[in-house]
Structure 1
Amino acid sequence: MALGQAGTFALVVAFPGVIAFILGIVAENSKPTGDLAVKLVSASGQTTCLYPKDPTPALGTLAAILLFISATIAVVSLVYPYEGKRISIKNLAKSVGLVTFVVLSLTLFLVAESLLLWATVLESVHRSHNHHSAIPGFCPTAKAGLFGGAAFMALDSTLFWLICLMLVVNARADHFGYEEEDVKGTYEGVTSADYVPPISTHITPKV
């Protein structure tokens, strides 16, 4: 059934999206601040920042990959031929609500993916290029809140993709006329033998 296949797609879309959200939150909480890094100053005045080991770059990378997988599966679910019945993008575009939520979902996905990649790259750069000529304050780290903001944007994107999937099911029902077929099939299943006309009784009034 189309609803069963759509439900499977919903689970496959939601799972990596939710995991990406969780990984983003964990990355935000585990990211060390600049005051936790050890500053070593050489005789020439060069400062080397030694950051504590943490899984932040790996978590950010994995979250970005999972979010991309979730969005890719979501796009496939929009045009998937449920029950072997394919519907064109032109017919799907007739649904204003579906088009609106697809645009919003893509926008949220691009913002979330950009924030995750930006925070991950910044954190990795600070660890690989940790030699500085002079640092007035603490050792630099990725801006606080990037991973957390990206995580919530990823969750919003996943929820919007699920709404798009529900709207696709409705659009397909309107296009193929599932409800009319169900009603027609119900009435065609009733045979004439099953229909018993009401028995009318005639009562002669007493004089």
Structure 2
Amino acid sequence: MAATLKKMSVLVAALGILSFVFGILAETKKPAAGVPIIGKGMIICKYPSDPTLAFAWLSFGFLVACSAVGWFSLFYAYKGKKAPTSAFFQSSTFVSFFVITLGTIGLAASFLLWPIITHHHPKYNITGNQNPSSATCPTAKTGVLGGGAFLSLNSSLLWLACFIFASNAREDYFEDLDGVKKPTHKHTHLEEAEAGPTIDDDSNEITSSSH
């Protein structure tokens, strides 16, 4: 089944929505705090088991998949006709949305990965020397995973906008290409008209011999 821009747009939107949903689930399922356990010279935090990390990884994975499909769909040769990459970047509107899309993807990845990285850090469960009576075991700041989820959804919508401008740039390129070929064809017919009717030498010889 050949890929079409409509199918790829639906796929990108679906992946963006899935990334958003899992990011929101990671935010809502995140525990408020861990339980401090007083050790020798340090306080160890014990966190309850929760699916936050799994949801965060899934959200990040769908963000990567959405970005990969978006990039592939942008420069894909639809109907067997491929426009050069330079044709897309001649449009300032396309370039603007393309850069904004990549920036949004980077921010979304940072927001989703930061809680994952800090959770896996060796010192995440150790808070150091604290007053046992006021020791706390915080989790990722509220809104980080949710912000990553919204940015991931926004990136998929920005991909759709890039598809529109890329489609316009592709059509303009092929129209200009056809416009260059057509005048050449007309010029050939014009030269033939100016040259006048051609005379066949063989037919002249036959006519002369008959006389």
1:92 equivalent to 2:88? Answer: yes
Shift of 1:46: 3.0
Q: Which residue of 1 aligns with 2:4?
A: 5
Correspondent of 2:128 among 129, 133, 139: 133
1:40 equivalent to 2:37? Answer: yes
- Which string of whole-angstrom CA distances, capped at 9 and with x for unpartnered residues, describes residues 114-133 of structure 1? 1111122123338x742343
RMSD (CA atoms): 2.3
Q: Which residue of 1 aligns with 2:99?
A: 103
Contact 1:122 1:141 in 2 (8 A): no
- The one-letter code matched in structure 2 to 1:65 is G
- TM-score, normalization by structure 2: 0.75
Instruction: List structure 1 segments (4+ residues) > 4 angstroms apart after TM superposition.
Output: none
Unaligned 5+ segments in structure 1 are 182-207
Shift of 1:137: 3.4
- Which string of whole-angstrom CA distances, capped at 9 and with x for unpartnered residues, describes residues 44-67 of structure 1? 343222111111111111111110
- Which string of whole-angstrom CA distances, capped at 9 and with x for unpartnered residues, describes residues 138-188 of structure 1? 21211211101111111111100011011111222222239x99xxxxxxx
Alignment of 1:181-192 (within 5 A): none
- The one-letter code matched in structure 2 to 1:22 is V
1:115 equivalent to 2:111? Answer: yes
- TM-score, normalization by structure 1: 0.76
1:170 partner SS: helix
Q: What is the alpha-carbon distance in structure 2 between the residues aligned to residue 83 and residue 74 of structure 1?
A: 18
Unaligned 5+ segments in structure 2 are 180-211
Identity of counterpart residues, as a percentage? Answer: 34
Q: Count matched residues.
A: 174
Q: Which residue of 1 aligns with 2:154?
A: 156
1:141 partner SS: coil
- The one-letter code matched in structure 2 to 1:133 is G
